[in-house]
Homo-oligomer: A and B are copies of this chain.
């Protein structure tokens, strides 16, 4: 119950003696109002610490100055970093931000999407590894776009739906990491990632595989995890090490999996950075501080979150259309740290300390 006298335009009108509509114009379209009245209105508005009621103004104008962000799981570091950047840009443009985290649960995602048209939201940013191409999701998204709500995706395009997208060049990132592992550590190499269904993980796998193939092996080992977190990395890696051939190096499709893998290797008698290498993806804040510090494929979160948010806001404001925009692709760059430091015997043309080491 947002109770009383919330400093409305009516109050300003009463206080100044002007009509409500004049107050409205003074605030929104200053050029239509006499300089003098405008100043007067602005002063009273300030005294009453007036801000327009979003619900009311949105009802009439259609724009609520509010975006929604749909993420796979806000508790995962990657999504929380994206969220921070999105929130920052929103605040700069005085847009509010609604958060919807669906915990990689398709039903929950669908339920969120179904409600979007009635939530008073001008646009939505979608960021998840889960496949958005399945028919139910596509249908909901189409409905949303049709209702005039703008959509931007981060990390994957949506087939048959013309929506701006910001991508990482994960294929190249995986290539860099795999080349590094192949040259410094040799074969065989393993890829640790979630089951099919994660789009970026699939790109990373493809990049990994292409390099492994070019080094003679057919495919490389694919270790399938049941999820994206530390535990999943630990379990899958440990299970593999108990029965399968030990790889010389492991490329994990995110840093949490990498951390779990490092621990599993240690528990089963291996030493990461000495007899086996591990490289993660994402280069989370903790990577330089782990023991051993974690090599990882980095990429600017701010860059892609900022690009997505700015794009969406300009679409909402009508400054840009969403039609036929080629996806923006942000670069990935390998950061080598202790967990994959080339062993003394191998090629030694690299600096011993990769950039991004602790200060």
Chain B proximity of A57: nearest CB distance (Å): 9
In A68-94, which residues have CB < 8 Å from any B CB?
Answer: 69, 73-77, 79-81, 83-84, 87-88, 91, 94
Please name all residues of chain B whose beta carbon is closer than 8 Å to the beta carbon of A6 when the two chains form the complex.
Answer: 117-118, 147
| Inter-chain contact B100/A98, CB cutoff 8 Å | no
Q: How far apart are the CA atoms of A119 and B318 in the complex, in Å?
A: 22
Q: Does A235 touch B at the CB level, under 8 Å?
A: yes
| Inter-chain contact B80/A75, CB cutoff 8 Å | yes
| Inter-chain contact A1/B62, CB cutoff 8 Å | yes
| Inter-chain contact A75/B64, CB cutoff 8 Å | no
Please name all residues of chain B whose beta carbon is closer than 8 Å to the beta carbon of A43 when the two chains form the complex.
Answer: none
Q: How far apart are the CA atoms of A114 and B94 in the complex, in Å?
A: 12
| Inter-chain contact B263/A289, CB cutoff 8 Å | yes
Please name all residues of chain B whose beta carbon is closer than 8 Å to the beta carbon of A53 when the two chains form the complex.
Answer: 59, 118, 120
Determine the main DSSP class of A at the interface with B: mixed
Q: How far apart are the CA atoms of A64 and B96 in the complex, in Å?
A: 15
| Inter-chain contact B84/A259, CB cutoff 8 Å | no
| Inter-chain contact B63/A263, CB cutoff 8 Å | no
Q: How far apart are the CA atoms of A112 and B91 in the complex, in Å?
A: 9
Q: Does A161 touch B at the CB level, under 8 Å?
A: no
In A309-342, which residues have CB < 8 Å from any B CB?
Answer: 316, 318
Q: How far apart are the CA atoms of A66 and B119 in the complex, in Å?
A: 9
Please name all residues of chain B whose beta carbon is closer than 8 Å to the beta carbon of A84 when the two chains form the complex.
Answer: 73-75, 101, 103
Q: How far apart are the CA atoms of A100 and B108 in the complex, in Å?
A: 22
Stretch at the interface among A25-33, A191-199, A226-234: A226-234
| Inter-chain contact B120/A55, CB cutoff 8 Å | yes
Number of interface residues of A (CB under 8 A): 79
Chain B proximity of A281: nearest CB distance (Å): 16
Q: Does A52 touch B at the CB level, under 8 Å?
A: yes
Q: Can you add 20 more A-B contacts, CB < 8 Å, to A75-B81, A87-B99, A120-B120?
A: A2-B62, A2-B147, A2-B148, A3-B62, A3-B148, A4-B148, A52-B118, A53-B120, A54-B120, A55-B55, A55-B59, A55-B120, A74-B80, A83-B99, A91-B108, A98-B99, A99-B99, A230-B285, A259-B289, A263-B289
A residues with CB within 8 A of B: 1-4, 6, 49, 51-56, 58-59, 62-64, 66, 69, 73-77, 79-81, 83-84, 87-88, 91, 94, 96-101, 103, 108, 111-112, 114-115, 117-122, 147-149, 229-231, 233-235, 256, 259-260, 262-263, 266-267, 285-286, 288-293, 316, 318, 358-359
22 of the cross-chain contacts (CB-CB < 8 Å) are: A2-B64, A49-B114, A51-B114, A51-B115, A55-B55, A55-B64, A69-B99, A74-B80, A74-B87, A75-B80, A83-B101, A84-B103, A88-B103, A91-B111, A235-B359, A259-B290, A262-B289, A262-B291, A263-B291, A263-B293, A286-B286, A291-B292
